[in-house]
Chains A and B, each alone.
Chain A
Amino acid sequence: MTGRWNDLGPDDRALVEASFVALETTALIGTEASAGAMPSPSALWAHVTGVAVTPRTELAAALLRHPDLRVTLAGMLARVSIASGPRVAAAATGQRVRERSGDGFRLRLLPARGAPDQTWIMIALDTPNPAPTRLTVLPPDGVPETASLEAPVDGGVQLLAETDSALVRALSDPTALVFLL
Chain B
Amino acid sequence: MRIVRAMDGVSAEQAAIDGGRSAALDQALRTVAEADLGAGPKYSPLVVRDLTRTISARAYGKPLLELMHLIRIAEAAGGRHGWPAILFAVPVARAAAFRGVIQKASAGCRAFDVDFALVEDGVEIAYPDGRFRVTYGRMAFLAALVEFAITALGWRAVDGVFRGWLDDRFALRAAGPHANTLSRLLYDHLKDHLPTAQALRSYRRLTRFLMAVRGDGFTLDDLDDAMVLAFWSRGDEEPDDDGGDIRTFRAAVEQVARLRSAMRAGLERRSVDSAVPIGGDRSAGEVDPDTLLGVLEAHDGPGDPLRQLASPPASTIKFLNGRETDALDLIAALGAQGPALPLSVLRVETFGAAQGRLTQAIRRRADAVEVAALVGLAQCESYGERSEQWDRLDHQLHRLSLAALAALLEAGRAEAAVELLAQAPDADLSPLRGVASGSGDGRVVALGGILAALADPDVVGGRAAEVVGQARAALRAISRRGFSVEDRRDPASGDGFAAGAPAVRAVRDLLNGLRRAVDTALPLAERDHRFEADRTVFAARFSALYEAVP
Q: Are A6 and B217 touching (Cβ within 8 A)?
A: yes
Main secondary structure of the interface of A (DSSP, over half): helix
Contact among B52, B143, B211 with A26 in the assembled complex (CB-CB below 8 Å): B52
Residues of chain A contacted by B254 (CB below 8 angstroms) = 27
Residues of A within 8 A of B267 (CB): 1-3, 8, 12
A133-149 interface bits toward B, Cβ cutoff 8 Å, 1 = contact, 0 = none: 00000000000000000
Surface stretch bound by A, among B29-37, B409-417, B542-550: B29-37
A29 touching B155 in the complex, CB below 8 Å, given contacts A2-B219, A23-B295: no
For residue A115, which residues in chain B have a CB less than 8 angstroms away from its CB? none
Q: A2-B219, A35-B27, A40-B147 are in contact. Are A75 and B155 (CB under 8 A)?
A: yes
B36 near A15: Cβ-Cβ < 8 Å: no
**Cβ A52 vs Cβ B25 within 8 A:** no
A129 CB-CB contact with B under 8 Å: no
Contact of A41 among B82, B155, B255, B279 (CB under 8 A): B155
Max chain B CB contacts within 10 Å: which of A2, A6, A41, A51?
Answer: A41
How far, in angstroms, from A40 to B30 measured CA to CA in the complex? 9
B266 and A19: CB pair below 8 A? yes
Q: Are B154 and A1 in contact (CB under 8 A)?
A: no
Q: What separation, in Å, do the CA atoms of A66 and B156 have in the docked complex?
A: 15
Given A11-B269, A41-B151, also A20-B6 (CB < 8 A):
no
Chain A residue nearest to B294 in the complex (CB): A19
Interface contact A24-B55, CB-CB below 8 Å: no
Q: Is the interface of B mostly helix, strand, loop or mixed?
A: helix
Flag whether A13 is at the interface (Cβ < 8 A): yes
Q: Flag whether B299 is at the interface (Cβ < 8 A).
A: yes
| Interface-centre pick from B21, B30, B206, B271 (highest chain A CB count, 10 A) | B30
Beta-carbon contacts of B275-290 to A below 8 Å, as 1s and 0s? 1011100100101000
Smallest CB gap from B84: residue in A:
A45
Given A23-B258, A28-B199, A40-B151, A11 and B218 touching (CB < 8 A)?
Answer: no
- Given the known inter-chain contacts A11-B269, A19-B295, A49-B81, please indicate yes or no for A30 contacting B33, CB distance below 8 A: yes
In the complex, chain B residues 241-255 whose Cβ is within 8 Å of any chain A Cβ: 244, 254-255
Question: Are A4 and B217 interface neighbours, CB within 8 A?
Answer: yes
A37 close to B (CB within 8 Å): yes
Which B-chain residue is minimally distant from A65 (CB atoms)?
B27
Q: B8: which A residues are within 8 A, CB to CB? A: 14, 17
Q: Say yes or no: A15-B266 contact (C-beta < 8 A), given A28-B21, A42-B88.
A: yes
Docked complex Cα distance between A76 and B83 (Å): 11
Number of A-B contacts (CB under 8 A): 215
Q: What CA separation (Å) do A18 and B203 show in the bound complex?
A: 10
Is B29 in contact with A22, judged by CB distance below 8 angstroms? no
Interface size on B, residues (CB 8 A): 88
Which residues of B are found within 8 Å of A46, using beta-carbon distances? 37, 88
Contacts of A159 in B (CB 8 A): none
Minimal beta-carbon separation of A3 from chain B (angstroms): 4
Chain B 509-549, CB-CB to A under 8 Å as 1, else 0, gives 00000000000000000000000000000000000000000
Whether A75 and B203, one on each chain, are in contact in the complex, defined by CB atoms closer than 8 angstroms, is: no
Is A116 an interface position by the 8 A CB rule?
A: no
Q: How far is the CA of A6 from the CA of B216 in the complex (A)?
A: 6
Give the distance to chain A from B94, nearest Cβ to Cβ, in Å.
Answer: 14
A22 interface neighbour in B57, B154, B210, B244, Cβ under 8 Å: B57
Instruction: Pick the residue among A3, A15, A76 that contacts B219 (CB under 8 A).
Output: A3
List of B residues within 8 angstroms of A37 by Cβ: 34
The answer to whether B147 touches A41 (Cβ under 8 A) is: yes
B159 touches A75 (CB 8 A): yes
Residues of chain B whose beta carbon lies under 8 Å from any beta carbon of chain A? 4, 6-8, 21-23, 25-27, 29-38, 42, 48, 52-53, 55-57, 81-82, 84-85, 87-89, 143, 146-147, 150-151, 154-156, 159, 194-196, 198-200, 202-203, 206, 210-211, 216-220, 244, 254-255, 258-259, 261-271, 275, 277-279, 282, 285, 287, 291-292, 295-296, 299-300
- Given A20-B258, A30-B29, 15 other A-B residues pairs in contact with their CB atoms under 8 A: A13-B266, A14-B6, A15-B262, A16-B263, A17-B8, A18-B7, A19-B266, A22-B295, A23-B258, A23-B295, A33-B30, A41-B84, A42-B37, A43-B35, A72-B155
Q: List 27 A-B contacts (CB under 8 A).
A: A1-B267, A3-B270, A5-B218, A11-B282, A12-B267, A14-B287, A15-B269, A19-B292, A20-B262, A21-B7, A22-B56, A22-B199, A22-B292, A22-B295, A22-B296, A25-B196, A26-B53, A26-B57, A27-B254, A30-B25, A31-B26, A35-B23, A38-B31, A40-B147, A40-B151, A42-B88, A49-B85
